[in-house]
Amino acid sequence: MYPDNLKYTKDHEWILVQNGAGTIGITDFAQKELGDVVFVELPEIGRALSQGEEFGTIESVKAVSELYSPVGGMVTAVNEALRDHPEQVNKDPYDSGWIIKLSVSDAGQLSGLMDAAAYREHVGTGGH
């Protein structure tokens, strides 16, 4: 449910960093809490983000939630498919439901994020 190769925030974002590039989305827990996602507000490519900065919103039939960057960096890509198919966040939050990609400005910031085990504990699912 929470892939071991990702890092997680207390606000339920995940990040996968490969070769200095980070892919960011929301967790399976978050998409279940939100319910059916109907809109994702995406940032501009080229926008510089600080760690913890809001970069957009995600809207469901139940609520609107802010999205926060797990680390600082420059937005290099947004998932354009979400404009027409925001439900991808519900169907596949860790693959086709990714939200943005960025170039990570300080990889040291990753050490302050949770691993999968800590995130499972954070959301109260223990070892499940």
Q: Where are the domains of the chain?
A: 7-119
Q: How many CB atoms lie under 10 A from the CB of residue 112? A: 12
Contact 105, 71 (CB under 8 A): yes
Q: What is the rounded average pLDDT of the residues 80-106?
A: 97
pLDDT value at 127 more than 90: no
Quote the mean pLDDT of the chain. Answer: 96
CATH class of the domain at 7-119: mainly beta
Do the Cβ atoms of 123 and 9 come closer than 8 Å?
no
Distance, CA of 127 to CA of 71 (rounded, Å): 26
pTM of the model: 0.95
Task: Give yes or no for a contact between 97 and 31, defined as CB atoms under 8 angstroms apart.
Answer: yes
State residue 121's pLDDT score. 95
pLDDT of residue 40: 98
Q: What is the mean pLDDT of residues 60-81?
A: 97
Reported as a pLDDT band with limits 50, 70 and 90, residue 97 is very high
What pLDDT score does 47 carry? 98
Q: How far apart are CA 50 and CA 17, in angstroms?
A: 16
Write the CB contacts of 69 (distance below 8 Å, at least 6 apart in sequence).
13, 24, 49, 50, 51, 52, 53, 55, 102
What is the pLDDT averaged over residues 69-73?
Answer: 98
The per-residue pLDDT for 1 is 85
pLDDT digits (tens, 9 = 90+) for 11-58: 999 999 999 999 999 999 999 999 999 999 999 999 999 999 999 999
